[in-house]
Amino acid sequence: MTARPRPAVSALGVPLGVPLGVPLGVPLGVPLAFPLGVPLALLLLAAMIATPSSAFAAPGDADKHFRSGVQLYKENDYAAAIVEFQRAYDVDPKYQVLFNIAETHYRLQDYANALKAFQRYLDEGGKQIPSRRRKDVESEIVTLSQRVATLTITTSEPGAAITVDDVSIGVTPLEPLIVSAGRRRVTAVLPGRAPATKTVDLAGGDKQVVALEIPAAPAIGKDEGPAPPPLLVEEPSMVPMIVGWSVTGALAVGAVVTGVVALGASSDLEAELARFPGDRGALDSAKSSAFGFGLATDILIGTSVAAAAVATYFTVDFALESEAAAESAEPETSARLLVLPGGLALDGTF
């Protein structure tokens, strides 16, 4: 979340981290002659060593967390500073620290939590807070009140865990919530159920109801009846493939035989051409035989190639159909998750 621009000192003109339960502008434990505007680290150091009445005189780690929070705030690490300030308050609940918490939430544009922290600061500080400072804090509260909305969250079943923007809020039923204006994502979860989520856009001062319908629980041990009969898968036929390759083989053999005969006829033709004086009738007969057997060989070679292509197609088709039939014959795998009183169970066919 982007931090809003804030002055180096707090909105009340007091350096952040200085205990506020003293007259306006004077850090607790610092001599009145100590000049204001001294860097925050020096003010804190003086507050810690000048007198035992510093912000955290009680034993524990409150002082360490407080100092760490101030340092992180100075480094603009507001998310980590919030954790340190809250831990310091948890260890030693000084109302002054609530001001630091409120200011840091304000930096994070977390207006709802800033408003709550300022209100707690006034409530817990009571009459210890000077009137001028109280008035300034009340002015901040008025500003923040215009940047928050009221959200009423209901669920179809009680006991659902609620989160707003992934921050845990509690379990339904809940009191109306004060949330920062803007887009908020509300989620409700019951054990063993799917989460129900809604996103709402809230303007400052809105009062909106978000009703979440929890999905129904899955059936427990429901009888689904007898299993369906297995599918009867027809085995693919091998006949087209066998016929295709048989024809291809026969044509190839014929092409080889006629090719051998054609070579013989060609030799006879050459012999007749070389004979002198030649015999016209024998020469014509040799030419006719050589041409005929050569043509037959070419035709058989061409048809055997075509038959081989057809046989290859039938072979690939048979392989694909066999694979599909094998997959269809495999038993179907199914599973379901059952919610039982003692836990979860997995039921199905594997």
φ, ψ of residue 62 in degrees (nearest 5): -60, -45
To the nearest 10 degrees (0 to 180), the angle between helices 111-125 and 131-145 is 150
On the question of pLDDT at 12 being above 90, the answer is no
| pLDDT band at 75; cut points 50, 70, 90 | very high
CA–CA separation, 125 and 95 (whole Å): 6
Give per-residue pLDDT as tens, 49-68. 333 334 454 446 888 999 99
On the question of pLDDT at 232 being above 80, the answer is no
pLDDT of res. 219: 65
CA–CA separation, 171 and 203 (whole Å): 25
Nearest to 343 by CA among 192, 164, 241, 150: 192
Q: What is the mean pLDDT of the chain?
A: 76
| pLDDT band at 74; cut points 50, 70, 90 | very high
On the question of pLDDT at 101 being above 90, the answer is yes
Domain boundaries, the chain: 40-145, 148-212, 239-329
> pTM, whole model, 2 decimals?
0.49
**CATH class for the domain made up of 40-145:** mainly alpha
Give per-residue pLDDT as tens, 108-147. 999 999 999 999 999 999 999 999 999 999 999 999 999 9
**CATH class for the domain made up of 148-212:** mainly beta
CA–CA separation, 130 and 319 (whole Å): 92
CA–CA separation, 289 and 298 (whole Å): 14
98 within 8 A of 117, measured Cβ to Cβ:
yes
